[in-house]
Chain A
Amino acid sequence: DTGVSQNPRHKITKRGQNVTFRCDPISEHNRLYWYRQTLGQGPEFLTYFQNEAQLEKSRLLSDRFSAERPKGSFSTLEIQRTEQGDSAMYLCASSRERGRGFYGYTFGSGTRLTVV
């Protein structure tokens, strides 16, 4: 169990550029989640996958955001035409579906995006 890995750890980009983040979940976890956290706030849900299927997207996820999880393994989150309001910590988490069990999933260390 190597934990949830996110790359890059930090990204500074100019407004209008596209950025892509990668998340490698714990290998036996079939669920993968993306959250966004801004200063002074808790993580906000963006989207989640069960295996390769994207099952839910938050209304926070505008058309400029797209997430994929090909083959149900790693996931990417792309932001097109970045805006300053996109500056945040992007967190990935994974869990194993356990029926009606608790969803205490494992978070990665996050990718901090700064749009200048």
Chain B
Amino acid sequence: DQQVKQNSPSLSVQEGRISILNCDYTNSMFDYFLWYKKYPAEGPTFLISISSIKDKNEDGRFTVFLNKSAKHLSLHIVPSQPGDSAVYFCAAGSHNQGGKLIFGQGTELSVKP
């Protein structure tokens, strides 16, 4: 029962171009969504979040889009930098679940100079 899915295990992008990472979910009870970034041998680091009442949230080079009708969210990174190379996880939760998050499988982003 994979409630949060990231169907692309990897993505390769040229430096300076846009990176788009996708995530689909099945549970309509989720009311917030987050993206985490993970480097090898480190724990995941919180990147950006969005409430289910919004369809977009922007923070510098990072923008998260939410399409509730399609149960789909995406993370855009513009412009991509080599330091962005990492594994990106999307996660979802609901306010009545005490902060418990359901994570996708992750997408490994490689930004080439």
User: How many contacts A-B (CB < 8 Å)?
Assistant: 66
A contact residues, range: 20 to 34
Contact B44–A31 (Cβ < 8 Å): no
Given A100-B95, A102-B32, A102-B34: A45 and B42 interface contact (C-beta under 8 Å): no
A41 to B108, CA, bound (A): 11
A20 to B106, CA, bound (A): 28
A93 to B99, CA, bound (A): 11
Instruction: Pick the most buried of A42, A43, A100, A104: most chain B CB atoms within 10 A of its CB.
Output: A42
**Chain B CB within 8 A of A108 CB:** yes
Contact A43–B103 (Cβ < 8 Å): yes
**Chain A CB within 8 A of B70 CB:** no
What is B's interface to A at a CB cutoff of 8 Å? Answer: 4, 6, 9, 32, 34, 36, 41-46, 49, 51, 89, 91, 93, 95, 97-106
